[in-house]
């Protein structure tokens, strides 16, 4: 799959997700207190690449499932991703004023409402998935919701955030430490996307194992390229305050391995991700996602 | 049911919940990052009356269900209740230093970890319910999880919190406003407990309607007596900083209706709650819960 085809398909999935999020905002979210709803959807509809929902839809279709069946779970995952960004930007966390090229949630709605907007999005994600699971009555839907709960949850993404905060500015910074943080903080949410799509399509154990490895390596690649971009990137490209990680003395692949070392590690993670899916038929979009991630840091 | 029998049965349910929470802490929560886990269970195991899980188990048994089947959902609801207290106590929210007679979560673990402890508990609650629903394969389990997601979520408890924050110190304070806040902030979580217990026992529509009314009136009663206690109560009884609501200019039933008016409103809410369940056989524990709430404010 060349980069033009990849961009086209990504656009198709992204538009599917965006229009479903618009539908949710105008119908299902009607009973939410107005200011809270504004705060939730301010961040949810702020754009972004929608990489997780796109991946989920692509995996589901690749394995013979219908994208429409994965859509409620794709939107829910984007809600969870968005809540994590809102809480992460809070003054007591990373203290970021900008996100996706706009003032971050608490700069617009205040800290208290930003905390609640995050809580609201996380709860709403589960409400949305549970309704879909109840409606479909399929075991795959329940397995998808379970996978997302686990990977996004206390032993997944939130554990990664907690480790990240505790290790910030630690005297000894090791690759093991950095790896633990990002397996949970970044890779778990990408794994959630990939594996939920597979559950909805009714994937077998062997395919699930290959996709688990693929998504973990993708998570590593994603984080390394993010660190490289933070190190040398263009603020317009990133849409957030740059060089911040460095300034705060945060452990990053760039600070730990140096720029060249980080680029090498990214290349290796990409190769391992591609190898993991080499035997899955029709995995061109998944391969192109990896290639696209690798290119963005060059 | 006299108050001794009520206390005995409550103790039995509470011990069931406490020991299940201990089991969860030592087994299922093993993969959570240690500091995060400490922060989550510091607040979750801080005691409290466990009124919501006790109610859920009681309703389930009253309608012929097994308490063991409701137990994962009862623990999940307590996790959700606890996360809401942790976030509510944050400096940017109510800024409370004490909770259940101990320093509040952020005073012990810091603000960032307290935000994550709340996020972790909320996620873990859904993970726990989804595992239970997957294991049981019963529709009632999924309905219970849905009810909890909706009542605790963006259009439920979180909407109540958002309205509460926005109306704080408002120039015009009306009973309608106060009612909207507490229907969501307080009543929704009690309704979640009662209705989830009913779903797990496979309750019919008529019983669900009666229990909905019962739990909504209970929510009102609970909030009014809480306001009365804040107004005149004993710090040792409450375990939190007292008179705080008044001091912050928060809308309460005591400030709006005066002490006598609030006591009258509490009595009326109690009567309406009791009337709602008068035709449900074996509802003695539910009636005693109402009487116990009413007494605590006298």
Per-residue pLDDT tens listing for chain A (298 residues)? 888 999 999 999 999 999 999 999 999 999 999 999 999 999 999 988 999 999 999 999 999 999 999 999 999 999 999 999 999 999 999 999 999 889 999 999 999 999 999 999 999 999 999 999 999 999 999 999 999 999 999 999 999 999 999 987 677 778 898 899 999 999 999 999 999 999 999 999 999 999 999 999 999 999 999 999 888 765 554 555 555 665 666 778 988 889 999 999 999 999 999 999 999 999 999 999 999 999 877 7
* Total Cβ atoms within 10 A of residue B126: 30
At residue A100, the pLDDT reads 86
**If you measure CA to CA, which chain B residue comes closest to A86?**
B115
Residue B288 reports pLDDT greater than 80: yes
pLDDT of residue B204: 97
For residue A175, the enclosing domain spans 3-296
pLDDT at A231: 83
Number of other CB atoms surrounding residue B156 within 10 Å: 27
Q: How far is A284 from chain B (nearest CA, A)?
A: 32
Overall pTM > 0.90:
yes
- By DSSP bridging, strand A98-99 and strand B98-99 are unpaired
* Residues B155-180 pLDDT 10s: 999 999 999 999 886 777 788 988 99
Asked if the interface predicted TM-score (ipTM) of this complex is over 0.85, the answer is: yes
What residues have CB less than 8 Å from A208, skipping those under 6 apart? A195, A198, A199
Interface test with A, best of B89, B153, B167, B196 (most A CBs within 10 A): B153
Binary contact (B145, A122; C-beta < 8 A): no
The CB density around residue A8, as the number of other CB atoms within 10 Å, is 11
Rounded Cα distance, A255 and A244, in Å: 12
CB A146, CB B130: distance < 8 Å? yes
What is the percent of chain B with per-residue pLDDT over 90, rounded to a whole number? 80
Specify the residue for token string 């006298």: B298
What's residue B168's pLDDT?
A: 80
Asked if B170 reaches chain A (Cβ–Cβ under 8 Å), the answer is no
Per-residue pLDDT tens digits for B89-148 = 999 999 999 998 899 999 999 999 999 999 999 999 999 999 999 999 999 999 999 999
| Full DSSP string of A32-87 | S-HHHHHHHHHHHTS----HHHHHHHHHHHHTT--HHHHHHHHHHHHHHHHHHHHH
Distance from CA of A63 to the nearest CA of B (A): 23
Tens digits of residue pLDDT in B1-11: 888 999 999 99
Q: What is the pLDDT of residue A232?
A: 79
* Packing angle, helices B205-232 and B175-182, rounded to 10: 120
> Is the CB of residue B236 less than 8 Å away from at least one CB of chain A?
no
Check CB contact of A161 with chain B, cutoff 8 Å. Answer: yes
B60 pLDDT higher than 80: yes
Percent of chain B with pLDDT over 70: 94
User: For the range A7-12, what are the long-range contacts, defined as Cβ-Cβ under 8 Å and sequence gap of 24 or more?
Assistant: A9/A58, A9/A285, A10/A49, A10/A54
**Residues recorded for chain B:** 298
Domain count, chain B: 1
Q: The CATH number of the domain where A169 resides is what? A: 1.10.600.10
* Chain B residues within 8 A of A160 when measuring between CB atoms: 33
Query: Smallest CA–CA separation between B129 and chain A, in Å?
Result: 9
- Whether A222 and A270 have beta carbons less than 8 Å apart is answered as no
Provide the chain B residues 69-108 that lie in CB contact (below 8 A) with chain A: 83-84, 87, 90, 92-93
d(CA B131, CA B147): 16
pLDDT tens, residue by residue, B202-242: 999 999 999 999 999 999 999 999 999 888 765 554 555 55
| Cβ-contact A16, A71 below 8 angstroms | yes
Question: A142 in contact with B at a CB cutoff of 8 Å?
Answer: yes
CB pair distance less than 8 Å for A134 and B143: yes
For residue B241, the model assigns a pLDDT of 54
User: How far is the alpha carbon of A64 from chain B, nearest alpha carbon, in Å?
Assistant: 23
pLDDT-derived band at B268 (thresholds 50, 70, 90) equals very high
Angle between helices B188-200 and B157-167 (to 10 degrees): 180
To the nearest whole Å, the CA of B161 is away from the closest chain A CA by 8
B73 and B132 in contact (C-beta within 8 Å)? Answer: yes
A153: nearest CA partner in chain B? B123
B177 touches chain A (CB under 8 A): no
**Minimal Cα distance from A167: which residue of B?**
B35
The encoded tokens of residue B167 equal 């109306």
Q: Enumerate the residues of chain A whose CB falls inside 8 A of the CB of residue B113.
A: 162, 165-166
Question: Does the distance separating the beta carbons of B154 and A124 come in below 8 Å?
Answer: yes
Residues in chain A: 298
Q: Nearest-CA neighbor of A77 among A157, A11, A136?
A: A157
At residue B83, the 3 state secondary structure works out as helix
What values do phi and psi take at A170, rounded to 5? Answer: -65, 150
Element (H, E) at A5: helix A3-26
Which one of A112, A130, A158 has the shortest CB-CB distance to B92? Answer: A112
Instruction: Identify all chain B residues contacting A35, using CB atoms and an 8 Å cutoff.
Output: 162, 166
Q: Which residues of A113-150 are buried (b: 16+ CB within 10 A; e: fewer)?
A: bbbbbbbbbbbbbbbbbbbbbbeeeeebbbbbbbbbbb
CB contact under 8 A, A154 and B126: no
Residue B155 CB neighbours (<10 A): 23
- Nearest residue in A to B162, CA atom: A36
């Amino acid at each position: 799959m060349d980069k033009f085809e990849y961009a086209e398909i990504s656009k198709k999935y992204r538009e599917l997700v965006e229009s479903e999020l618009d539908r949710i905002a105008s119908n299902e979210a009607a009973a939410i207190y107005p200011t809270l709803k504004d705060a939730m959807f301010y961040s949810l509809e702020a754009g972004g690449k929608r990489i997780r929902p796109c991946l989920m839809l692509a995996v589901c279709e690749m394995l013979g499932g219908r994208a429409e069946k994965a859509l409620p779970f794709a939107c829910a995952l984007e809600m969870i991703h968005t809540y994590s960004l809102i809480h992460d930007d809070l003054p007591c966390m990373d203290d970021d004023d900008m996100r996706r090229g706009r003032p971050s949630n608490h700069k617009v709605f205040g800290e208290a409402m930003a905390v609640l907007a995050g809580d609201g999005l996380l709860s709403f994600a589960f409400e949305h998935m549970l309704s879909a699971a109840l409606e479909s009555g399929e075991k795959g839907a329940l397995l998808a919701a379970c996978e997302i709960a686990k990977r996004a949850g206390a032993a997944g993404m939130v554990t990664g955030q907690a480790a990240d905060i505790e290790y910030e500015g630690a005297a000894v910074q090791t690759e093991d430490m950095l790896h633990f943080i990002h397996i949970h903080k970044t890779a778990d949410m990408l794994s959630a996307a990939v594996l939920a799509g597979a559950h909805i399509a009714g994937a077998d154990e062997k395919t699930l194992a290959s996709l688990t490895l693929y998504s973990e390596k993708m998570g590593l690649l994603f984080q390394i390229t993010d660190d490289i971009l933070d190190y040398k990137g263009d603020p317009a490209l990133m849409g957030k305050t740059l060089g911040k990680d460095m300034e705060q003395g945060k452990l990053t692949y760039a600070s730990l391995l140096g720029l060249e070392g980080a680029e090498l590690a990214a290349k290796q993670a990409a190769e391992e991700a591609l190898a993991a899916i080499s035997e899955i038929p029709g995995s061109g979009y998944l391969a192109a996602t990896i290639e696209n991630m690798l290119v963005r840091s060059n």
